[in-house]
C-alpha cells in the first residue's frame, strides 16, 4: 500500500452519488441540431474552417486550433453546417459567442479515420500530434488542452504521471462510470501518456475510496497487463481531493509552488476521461466528439450517466430525462461545489461538461440571507490552501487589494469549501471572485498608467537633452564668434589702418552684391511700409475694441497688447516718414 498524504482542510458534503449509478451508461437518440462553441477550452478560440451549407462527416475537422494554447473541434455527427453564428455559451457569464451549428442528417456517417494498431512504435512527436489534432482538452472541468501538459519544457524531468479519477464533487459519477466501463482503455491510455512522458518512475491512478467498483475494475484491467508499472492509489474521500494541486499533494506529498505548474515538481496530471480520449485518438484516430456526462437531480425522472455527442443541447437532454421545470431550483453545469448556474437550457454540452445537475427546490433551496461574519474560523479549518478566508472576506469587503494580495488570494482555488461550512451563509467565494476580477483590472490599469508615465518621463528627458545640446551649440558658436572677433581685432591691430584683409573685403563685397540683387524699387518699398502701417493700426483698433469688452485680469493682459500695438503703429509711422523724407530729400 502506497503512502498517501493528507491535505489541509477539506469538507465532507453529502455525496449524492448513488442516484445516477442506479442505471447503466446509456446513450440518447441524436439531437436534430448540434451546437459547437469555438471556445470550449482554456486558451484561444478555434478558427472555423467550414462554411454555412457545407456537408460534414462525423469526426471531420471543422475548426482549427489557433496557436498552441487552443484545441481543434470536430463534427460530432454527419450533416450540414446550418450556420456559424453567435449562440448562448455554457459559461457563468451567460454571454454568447461564435458557434458552428450542425443539422444532423441522422446517418451518423464517419469520416475516414487514421487508426494505428502498433502505436507503441510511434515516436514522441507523432503521438503528441495525434493527441493534439484530436482536440483533447482536460475533461475534468478546466479544459486545458491536453497536448500542452503532455509536452512539458525540456529541462523538466517528469517522474510521476497521475491520472485523476478522484471525482470529489458530489453528484458527479461520470469518471466513475468511465472507469467501470472502460477500464482497459484507461490503462491503455495511461501507457500512451507514460510513453509520451518518457516512462516516469511512478504512474498512479488516484481514486477516492468511495468508488470501490471503479478501483476493482481498474485493478482488474491492470492485472491483465504484463510488467505493469501502473498503480491504483485509493485514499479517503474528502472534497476537494480531486483538485490537481490537492491530488498531487495527496499522492506525492509535494506542493506545486505558487505561480508554477505541476511539471515544475516533476508531475503531470490528467483526468481519466482525457486519458481514454487520448487512447482513442491514438489507437482509432477518433477525435474528441463525445463524452460521458452525469444527468442528475430530483427535478428529473431519470437520473443516470449518458454518453453524449459534444454539442447536444442541454434542453434536449433534459427533455429525454423527464425534466419538470416547475420543480427545479436552478440548473447547474458541473457539480454543486464548483459548477455554475445556467440561465437557460438552450446551451450545448461541451468538452468539459461532466455533469448536468437539475436539483429540486427541496434538494437545493435558495440560500438564506447572509449574516455577519463572526470570524469563527470554520472556513480556515476547511480551506485546502491554508488561507484565512475570514480575513480575505474582510479585505474583500474593504476592497483592500494590497492586503488581499499579501494574504495570497491568488492561491484560492475557488473550491467553495469555505462557503460550504460558513455558519453565517456568506457567499465567500463570490467575494473572492469579485476581488480577483478587481485585482486583474487594477493590474491592467497599473500597467497602462506605468507605460504612460514611462513615456512621459522619456519625453521630458528627450526635451531636456535637446535643450542642453542646443545650449551647448549656442555656447560653442559664441566662443567661435568671440575667437573670430579677437582674431580680427588682433589682425587689425597688427596691420594698423590698412584696409580690410582680402577675405573680409570679399565678405563685404558679397553682402553688397546680395543687397543689390534684393534691391527693390521705391514704389514697392513705399507700398510695403504703408501696408505695415495700416495692418498695425487695424490691429490696434481690434485690440482696443477687445480691451473694452474684457474685464479683470484679462483686461490687463489686453491693455498690455494695446500698448504693444501702439508702439508698432508709431514704429511703422516713423519708418514711413523716414522713407518719404529720404525719397523727397
Partner 1 sequence: MAFMQMTSPHAHRPGNTGHVMKLVILATLPGLITLSYFFGPGTLINVFTAGIMAMACEALVLKLRQRPVMFYINDYSALVTGVLLGLALPPYTPWWVIAVGCVSAIVLAKQLYGGMGYNPFNPAMVGYVILLISFPVEMTQWAMPRTLLAEGQALTGPIDGLAKMWFATPLDAYTGATPLDVFKQNNSQLVQHLYDTQAVFSTGRWAGAGWEWANIGFLMGGCFLLYKKVFTWHAPVSMLISLSLMAAMFNDGGSSNSGGSPLFHLLSGATMLGAFFIVTDPVSSATSNKGRMIYGAAIGILIYLIRTWGNYPDAVAFAVLLLNFAAPFIDYYTLPRTYGHNKARRGTEKEAE
What is the footprint of partner 1 within residues 415-444 (CB under 8 A)? 416-417, 419-425, 427, 429-430, 433
Buried b (16+ CB within 10 A) or exposed e, 523-557: eebeeebeebbeebbebbeebeeebeeeeeeeeee
Which positions from 152 through 171 interact with partner 1, judged by CB under 8 A? 170
Q: How far is the CB of 45 from partner 1 (least distance, A)?
A: 24
* Residue 89: partners with Cβ closer than 8 Å, 6 or more residues away: 37, 39, 95, 96, 97, 99, 347
Return the range that interacts with partner 1 (CB under 8 A); candidates 10-18, 100-108, 143-151, 207-215.
10-18
* Residue 579: partners with Cβ closer than 8 Å, 6 or more residues away: 525, 526, 529
Query: Which CB, 55 or 360, lies closer to partner 1?
Result: 360
| Among the listed residues 116, 261, 388, 550, the single contact to partner 1 using CB under 8 A | 388
Q: Is 221 in the site for partner 1 (CB under 8 A)?
A: no
| Among the listed residues 174, 267, 295, 332, the single contact to partner 1 using CB under 8 A | 332
Query: Which CB, 120 or 344, lies closer to partner 1?
Result: 344
| Among the listed residues 19, 228, 327, 391, the single contact to partner 1 using CB under 8 A | 391
For residue 41, what is its C-alpha cell?
477550452
Return the range that interacts with partner 1 (CB under 8 A); candidates 190-198, 255-263, 504-512, 521-529.
255-263
Judge whether 36 and 50 are in contact, CB under 8 Å.
Answer: no
Q: How far is the CB of 397 from partner 1 (least distance, A)?
A: 11
Q: How far is the CB of 258 from partner 1 (least distance, A)?
A: 4
Return the range that interacts with partner 1 (CB under 8 A); candidates 38-46, 60-68, 153-161, 369-377.
369-377
| Among the listed residues 107, 124, 260, 465, the single contact to partner 1 using CB under 8 A | 260
Q: Is 253 in the site for partner 1 (CB under 8 A)?
A: no
| Among the listed residues 166, 276, 359, 569, the single contact to partner 1 using CB under 8 A | 359
Q: Spell out, one character per residue from 395 to 414, where the chain touches partner 1: x when CB under 8 A holds, - when not.
A: -------xx-xxxx--x--x
For residue 419, what is its C-alpha cell?
462557503
Query: Which CB, 36 or 383, lies closer to partner 1?
Result: 383
Q: Is 377 in the site for partner 1 (CB under 8 A)?
A: yes
Q: Is 386 in the site for partner 1 (CB under 8 A)?
A: yes
Q: How many C-beta atoms lie closer than 10 Å to residue 424's C-beta?
A: 17
Which positions from 555 through 584 interact with partner 1, judged by CB under 8 A? none
Q: How far is the CB of 388 from partner 1 (least distance, A)?
A: 6
Query: Which CB, 125 or 430, lies closer to partner 1?
Result: 430
Which positions from 168 through 187 interact with partner 1, judged by CB under 8 A? 170
| Among the listed residues 268, 338, 355, 356, the single contact to partner 1 using CB under 8 A | 338
Q: Is 457 in the site for partner 1 (CB under 8 A)?
A: no
Q: How far is the CB of 306 from partner 1 (least distance, A)?
A: 21
Number of residues engaging partner 1 in binding (CB under 8 A): 77
Q: How far is the CB of 324 from partner 1 (least distance, A)?
A: 12
Query: What are the C-alpha distances in Å from 441 to residues 43, 243, 435, 577?
Result: 19, 26, 10, 72
- Say which residue the cell 542642453 belongs to: 468
Query: Which CB, 43 or 334, lies closer to partner 1?
Result: 334
Return the range that interacts with partner 1 (CB under 8 A); candidates 180-188, 190-198, 220-228, 375-383.
375-383
CA distance 356 to 528: 91
Which positions from 487 through 546 interact with partner 1, judged by CB under 8 A? none
CA distance 179 to 57: 29
| Among the listed residues 214, 387, 533, 565, the single contact to partner 1 using CB under 8 A | 387
Query: Which CB, 413 or 547, lies closer to partner 1?
Result: 413
Query: Which CB, 231 or 381, lies closer to partner 1?
Result: 381
CA distance 536 to 37: 74
Q: Is 62 in the site for partner 1 (CB under 8 A)?
A: no
Q: Is 376 in the site for partner 1 (CB under 8 A)?
A: yes
What count of Cα atoms within 13 Å lies in the side-chain half-sphere of residue 186?
33
Query: Which CB, 102 or 357, lies closer to partner 1?
Result: 357
Query: Which CB, 128 or 318, lies closer to partner 1?
Result: 318
Return the range that interacts with partner 1 (CB under 8 A); candidates 155-163, 199-207, 331-339, 471-479.
331-339
Question: DSSP letter at 497?
Answer: T
Q: What does the chain come to in residues?
A: 585
* Residue 232: partners with Cβ closer than 8 Å, 6 or more residues away: 204, 205, 207, 215, 218, 219, 222
Which positions from 75 through 134 interact with partner 1, judged by CB under 8 A? 92, 94
Q: Are strands 61-64 and 47-48 parallel, antiparallel or unpaired?
A: antiparallel
Residue 210 backbone class (left: φ over 0; alpha: ψ -120 to 50; beta: rest): alpha
Judge whether 261 and 30 are in contact, CB under 8 Å.
Answer: no
Query: Which CB, 325 or 577, lies closer to partner 1?
Result: 325
Query: Which CB, 415 or 558, lies closer to partner 1?
Result: 415
Return the range that interacts with partner 1 (CB under 8 A); candidates 24-32, 45-53, 254-262, 560-568.
254-262
Rg (CA), the chain: 40
Q: How far is the CB of 245 from partner 1 (least distance, A)?
A: 7
CA distance 398 to 402: 11
In sequence order, the β-bridge partners of residue 396 are none
H runs (alpha helix) in 496-521: 502-517
Q: How many C-beta atoms lie closer than 10 Å to residue 14's C-beta?
A: 8
Judge whether 429 and 418 are in contact, CB under 8 Å.
Answer: yes
Q: Is 328 in the site for partner 1 (CB under 8 A)?
A: yes
Q: Are strands 61-64 and 33-37 parallel, antiparallel or unpaired?
A: unpaired
For residue 8, what is its C-alpha cell?
489541509
Query: What are the C-alpha distances in Å from 101 to residues 74, 110, 382, 517?
Result: 12, 18, 43, 83
Judge whether 114 and 47 are in contact, CB under 8 Å.
Answer: no
| Among the listed residues 13, 189, 242, 266, the single contact to partner 1 using CB under 8 A | 13
SS3 state at 124: helix
Which positions from 268 through 327 interact with partner 1, judged by CB under 8 A? 325
Amino acid at each position: 500500500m502506497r503512502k498517501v498524504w493528507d491535505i489541509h482542510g477539506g469538507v465532507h458534503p453529502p455525496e449524492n452519488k448513488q442516484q445516477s449509478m442506479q442505471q447503466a451508461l446509456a446513450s440518447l437518440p441524436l439531437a436534430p441540431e448540434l451546437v459547437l462553441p469555438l471556445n470550449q477550452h482554456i486558451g484561444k478560440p478555434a478558427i472555423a474552417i467550414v462554411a454555412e451549407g457545407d456537408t460534414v462527416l462525423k469526426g471531420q475537422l471543422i475548426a482549427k486550433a489557433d496557436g498552441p494554447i487552443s484545441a481543434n473541434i470536430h463534427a460530432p455527427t454527419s450533416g450540414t453546417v446550418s450556420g456559424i453564428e453567435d449562440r448562448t455559451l455554457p459559461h457563468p457569464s451567460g454571454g454568447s459567442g461564435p458557434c458552428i451549428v450542425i443539422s444532423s442528417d441522422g446517418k451518423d456517417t464517419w469520416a475516414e479515420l487514421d487508426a494505428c494498431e502498433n502505436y507503441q512504435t510511434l515516436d514522441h512527436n507523432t503521438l503528441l500530434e495525434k493527441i493534439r489534432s484530436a482536440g483533447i482538452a482536460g475533461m475534468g472541468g478546466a479544459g486545458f488542452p491536453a497536448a500542452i501538459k503532455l509536452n512539458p519544457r525540456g529541462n523538466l524531468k517528469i517522474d510521476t504521471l497521475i491520472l485523476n479519477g478522484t471525482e470529489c464533487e458530489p453528484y458527479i459519477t461520470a469518471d466513475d462510470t468511465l472507469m467501470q466501463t472502460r477500464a482497459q482503455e484507461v490503462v491503455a491510455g495511461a501507457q500512451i501518456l507514460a510513453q509520451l512522458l518518457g516512462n516516469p518512475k511512478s504512474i498512479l491512478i488516484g481514486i477516492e475510496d468511495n468508488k470501490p467498483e471503479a478501483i476493482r475494475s481498474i485493478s482488474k484491467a491492470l492485472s491483465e497487463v504484463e510488467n505493469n508499472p501502473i498503480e491504483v492509489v485509493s485514499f479517503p474521500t474528502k472534497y476537494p481531493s480531486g483538485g490537481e494541486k490537492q491530488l498531487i499533494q495527496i499522492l506525492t506529498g509535494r506542493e506545486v509552488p505558487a505561480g508554477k505548474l505541476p511539471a515544475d515538481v516533476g508531475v503531470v496530471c490528467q483526468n481519466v476521461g482525457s486519458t481514454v480520449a487520448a487512447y482513442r485518438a491514438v489507437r482509432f484516430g477518433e477525435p474528441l466528439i463525445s463524452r460521458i456526462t452525469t444527468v442528475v437531480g430530483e427535478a428529473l425522472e431519470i437520473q443516470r450517466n449518458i454518453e453524449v455527442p459534444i454539442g447536444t443541447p442541454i434542453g434536449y437532454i433534459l427533455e429525454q430525462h423527464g425534466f419538470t421545470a416547475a420543480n427545479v431550483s436552478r440548473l447547474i453545469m458541473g457539480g454543486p461545489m464548483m459548477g455554475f448556474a445556467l440561465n437557460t437550457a438552450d446551451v450545448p454540452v461541451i468538452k468539459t461538461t461532466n455533469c448536468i445537475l437539475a436539483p429540486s427546490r427541496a434538494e437545493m433551496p435558495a440560500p438564506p440571507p447572509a449574516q455577519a461574519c463572526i470570524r469563527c474560523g470554520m472556513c480556515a479549518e476547511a480551506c485546502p490552501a491554508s488561507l484565512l478566508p475570514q480575513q480575505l472576506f474582510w479585505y474583500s469587503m474593504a476592497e483592500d487589494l494590497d492586503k488581499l494580495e499579501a494574504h495570497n488570494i491568488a492561491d484560492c482555488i475557488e473550491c467553495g469549501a469555505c462557503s460550504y461550512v460558513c455558519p453565517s451563509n456568506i457567499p465567500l467565494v463570490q467575494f473572492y471572485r469579485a476581488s480577483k476580477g478587481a485585482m486583474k483590472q487594477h493590474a491592467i490599469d497599473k500597467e497602462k498608467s506605468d507605460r504612460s508615465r514611462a513615456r512621459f518621463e522619456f519625453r521630458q528627458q528627450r526635451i531636456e537633452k535637446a535643450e542642453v545640446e542646443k545650449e551647448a551649440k549656442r555656447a560653442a558658436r559664441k566662443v567661435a564668434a568671440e575667437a573670430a572677433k579677437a582674431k580680427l581685432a588682433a589682425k587689425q591691430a597688427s596691420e594698423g589702418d590698412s584696409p580690410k584683409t582680402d577675405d573680409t573685403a570679399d565678405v563685404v563685397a558679397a553682402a553688397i552684391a546680395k543687397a543689390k540683387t534684393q534691391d527693390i524699387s521705391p514704389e514697392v518699398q513705399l507700398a510695403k511700409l504703408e501696408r505695415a502701417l495700416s495692418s498695425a493700426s487695424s490691429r490696434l483698433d481690434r485690440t482696443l475694441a477687445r480691451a473694452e469688452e474684457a474685464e479683470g485680469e484679462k483686461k490687463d493682459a489686453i491693455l498690455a497688447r494695446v500698448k504693444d500695438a501702439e508702439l508698432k503703429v508709431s514704429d511703422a509711422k516713423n519708418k514711413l516718414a523716414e522713407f518719404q523724407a529720404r525719397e523727397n530729400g
